[in-house]
Amino acid sequence: MILLMNRSKSSLFIYISLLFLVCTLSSIHSISFIPNSAPFDPNNTMLLLGEEDLEKENQFTYSDEEPRYTIKLSTMGRGDPLYVWFGHSAIVIDDKVTNRSVMYDYGIFSFNEGFYKTFALGRLWYESWATDTLMRFAIASEEDRNISLVTLDLPQDVALNVLNFVNKTMQKEYSTYLYHHYKENCSTKIRDIIDIATNGEFKEFATEVPSAYTIRELVSLHTASNPFIHFTLNFLQNRSIDTPITLWEAMFLPEKLEEGVLTFNRQRIDGSSIPLSLNREVIHAAPLGIRPENNQSMLQANLIMFFSSILLSLFIFFFRRGMENTRFIGMKRFYKTIYSLLSISWTLVGSVFSLVLIFMMVMSNHDVTYFNENILIISPLTLLLLLSSIKRVFSKETDYRFYESVNTIALSLIGVLIVAKGLFPYYLYQHNWDILVVMVPLYLMNSTFVHRFYKKRKRIINNKTW
């Protein structure tokens, strides 16, 4: 009778595990099959620029020898909050007649008005603002951010047309746009304007320059100073940011846009070439060492996470063994308390990661999360592990077979993924080895494999002693 009850209980656990496994696999699809599910953005840069001719001629009342309008590219370096780790780009236009300098900024958002909800859903609506240039520089200087200004060599006809276009985008009906981290941001919008202003030559040039890094690697160069943020962003993003790119795609980063502008030469009618940039002026230089540079070591961040995982796994194993081996009630309670806290901590973090990724894959417009292999590495099985860990805190249960079995299933999933990546590298090329090496020690040290091996070795030693 007892044997049958144990079998029924084990079968129930197996069914629950299989249910979570099905959820894991099915969640890979979801909204991924609806690639155009994002809201339509009538103010997308290319849609607006498609209606413009930035090279049309204009009538001027100002001397052609002294151009009235000067177009400049403003680049601001890294700031302290996470959302300015990647810098900022803006267009600055100087008017010599009115002696005014205006900054046209495409990166304005507010933490109010449901920001976190729209961010989670991948529907970030950003705004375009025109503000006083000196005022903006003063604010950025107070934050000790690098500020540079590159003057563009554009004909006055083109400069006036650019001015008219950016003024149009500042009007209420055109000032809000749907933000995308890599395709439509403060830097790419200016990149596209410069491309149209150069009759497509800028894009033609940039698409012929291969980038030394993928998008994931470019992002990591800015985030690796914080290993946890680095790990989180890598976990949430799929294989779409692991393909080779050119300078054109890399210009989602303000520093890369400035690099492209400084190295681009326009072709004259006679076949000669002239630089697009006339000069580069440093408005403010941040003190050295005030914050991490944008060339951070990805290897260092990955090693920190890996060794942290190893250390945590060893602690969990040590306190589990101590709890089971000690004969003193006080020590047993101490070991159980620490073991339970550690077990709940890592399974809680894993559960949150898994549920957030599933939400983004199923409910959001974050296309960089679709078809994400990482849902097999930190899967909904971690939620079962969390519930099992919490249950043991409030009970005298000493049977860890279910907990160990779920860890073993999770570890097996990783094994299947690794084999599949080896067999089908053309399809499964997502860079996630840094995620794998963090999770494998945790699953392994809590799996059936390790604890059966330990018990077997202990039994052999006891027999020899006897």
Separation CA 381–CA 171 (nearest Å): 50
Who has greater pLDDT, 236 or 56?
236
* 310/206 same-domain check: no
* 302/393 same-domain check: yes
- 298-323 pLDDT per residue, tens: 999 999 999 999 999 999 999 888 88
Report if residue 164 sits inside a domain: yes
- 161-207 pLDDT per residue, tens: 999 999 999 998 888 888 999 999 999 999 999 999 999 999 999 99
Q: Does the pLDDT value for residue 31 go beyond 90?
A: no
Contact 102, 132 (CB under 8 A): yes
Instruction: Name the strands in the sheet holding 125-132, side by side, starting at the edge strand that comes first in the sequence.
Output: 176-178, 125-132, 100-108, 88-95, 69-76, 147-152, 277-284
Rounded to 5 degrees, what angle do the CA atoms 121, 127, 128 make? 150
- The 8-class DSSP code of residue 246 comes to B
Separation CA 109–CA 98 (nearest Å): 30
Report if residue 229 sits inside a domain: no
* 98/141 same-domain check: yes
* 398/425 same-domain check: yes
Decide which of 235, 263, 284 is a domain's last residue. Answer: 284
* 318/392 same-domain check: yes
Report if residue 239 sits inside a domain: no
Q: What is the total residue count of the chain?
A: 466
* 196/278 same-domain check: yes
Separation CA 27–CA 380 (nearest Å): 10
Per-position DSSP letters for 210-236, written without gaps between them: B-SS-HHHHHHHHHTTSHHHHHHHHHH
* 264/362 same-domain check: no
The model's pTM is 0.84
Domain count, the chain: 2
Decide which of 238, 256, 284 is a domain's last residue. Answer: 284
- The 8-class DSSP code of residue 416 comes to H
Q: Is 73 helix (H, G, I), strand (E, B) or coil?
A: strand
Report if residue 228 sits inside a domain: no
Mean pLDDT within 248-254: 97
Domain holding 317, by residue range, is: 2-33+297-465
The dihedral region occupied by 30, where left means phi > 0, alpha psi between -120 and 50, and beta the remainder, is left
Give the per-residue pLDDT at 23.
52
* 193/252 same-domain check: yes
Instruction: Report residue 343's pLDDT band, with 50, 70 and 90 as the boundaries.
Output: very high
CA 200 from chain center: how many Å?
30
Give the per-residue pLDDT at 149.
97
Mean pLDDT within 24-31: 46
Separation CA 256–CA 252 (nearest Å): 7
Give the per-residue pLDDT at 3.
39
Report if residue 461 sits inside a domain: yes
Per-position DSSP letters for 129-160, written without gaps between them: EEEEHHHHHHHHHHTT--EEEEEE---HHHHH
Separation CA 47–CA 168 (nearest Å): 13
Decide which of 284, 305, 337 is a domain's last residue. Answer: 284
Query: Among 17-21, 59-63, 107-111, which range has the highest average pLDDT?
Result: 107-111
* 175/143 same-domain check: yes
Taking residue 440's Cβ as centre, other Cβ atoms within 10 Å add up to 20
Report if residue 49 sits inside a domain: yes
Positive or negative, the CA dihedral 239, 243, 248, 252 is positive
Amino acid in position 465: T
Element (H, E) at 70: strand 69-76
* 113/16 same-domain check: no
Report if residue 237 sits inside a domain: no
Contact 35, 367 (CB under 8 A): yes
Find the Cα–Cα–Cα–Cα dihedral 194, 195, 199, 205, rounded to 10°: 120
Report if residue 171 sits inside a domain: yes
Average pLDDT over the chain, rounded to an integer: 85
* 201/315 same-domain check: no
* 272/360 same-domain check: no
Place of tokens 């399974």: 347
Q: Are strands 88-95 and 100-108 parallel, antiparallel or unpaired?
A: antiparallel
